[in-house]
Amino acid sequence: MAQFPPIGTTAPTVSLPAEPADPANGVPGALGAKVATYKTLSDAGTWGEQRTARASTAKVRLSWDTVDDWRITKALLGYSYVANQAGQNELFRVVPLRRPRSRAKAYLRELNLVGVGRRSSAPNNINTLGQSGAVPANDPNAGAYVGGVYMDSDGWPTGEKMTYEATFGPLDWPSVGTGDAYSWTVGGFSEMNRYTKGVRNPRPKELKIPGAGFGGLIYDTADAAVGAAGITGTTPAAIGTPIVQTEIEYTYTWFQLPVSGGIPEAALKYNLNKVNSQPFDGYVFAQFPVYTMLFKGWRESDPYPGSDGAYYVDLTYVFGFRGGVDPAGNAINWHKVALPNGTYGTIRRQGITDPETGQPMRLYQQADHMKLWQVP
């Protein structure tokens, strides 16, 4: 194997948290937290960029010590985990590496191993064939040097240095935030504005005129077509005549939730088919007034493995928005229904109290939908 190629003069660092022992995967003892160094290659052909009108992607080669390989890979690609913070479980995000010196939001998406390097001579901690000497049992590089390639104890090629081609590009969600700050902070909420993508679609609904209790809608005999049909006087509009109501469907996809401990099971069930008791959002879209967002349910992706070996899912929340004002200037929301004169009025359930508010039960129960972005 050729000597490891020249590397750049800069040496970025990445923080590696402590890791527990994992003998089955080559980590016989616990590893302490440390700051590791990686470098970029400066050879011709080791970097490039493609720019388009929608986004840009870039590739560059990175290298680091083999002993830190899996830890650096995980830290640079990013992952999520749940940990207790001040007595409450919180979602922590270790964000993927953002490409330096780029105005585009290009984050590390893929690492492809393209080379395993060594120094010009075998180091002391490698058991070269024909050379005696003890090899530390917990040394990930312990093995034999055969035919120019280091072989570990399982016969898998390894070396002192690893070279990866790193691919940078846009993510599926607009913002990852920074660092590994947890999801809910003292005095404020901060998870919804990262790892979340929002999409809206108008979904007009038709209200069918019921058979009773909806008087005041009559055929307009001033229209010649009505008179020509033989309709006179104050003939009521036919039962089933549609009245179009404006509704907008909003979907929020919350990405990379740990399957273990990250899915807000109780909040999903509690918020289902309820309207927002508190102002909602203000991070992805403009803030929605109370009672205007109905949580209709959620879709869940297939579980998928992350860079840390843990499994994740993406949750897509589906909401229906009903808001605005009627011709008289009254606010429209899910607790109100269309009246014969074109305005909207509140209705309630007789003799039932809403457990969330302690007030008379309206058409829907209420819940704080922001809690859907908090791990249990």
Q: What percent of the chain has pLDDT over 90?
A: 43
d(CA 75, CA 240): 60
Q: Cite the DSSP H helix spans in the chain.
A: 69-77, 224-228, 265-271
Please give the structure tokens belonging to residue 232.
């006179």
Q: Provide the greatest CA pair distance for the chain.
A: 111
| For residue 135, pLDDT beyond 50 | no
β-strand pairing of 107-117 with 88-94 = unpaired
Whether the model clears a pTM of 0.95, i.e. scores above it, the answer is no
What does the DSSP 8-state code read for residue 159?
A: -
Average pLDDT, the chain: 82
d(CA 73, CA 67): 12
Task: Give the H/E segment covering residue 168.
Answer: strand 161-169
Q: Hey, which of 107-121, 211-225, 268-282 has the most confident mean pLDDT? A: 268-282
* Residue 13, beta-bridge partner list: 37
Neighbours of 355 (CB within 10 A): 9
* Residue 197, beta-bridge partner list: 253
d(CA 158, CA 142): 10
List the one residue out of 272, 303, 290 whose CA is nearest residue 372.
272
Average pLDDT over residues 324-344: 85
Average pLDDT over residues 3-20: 70
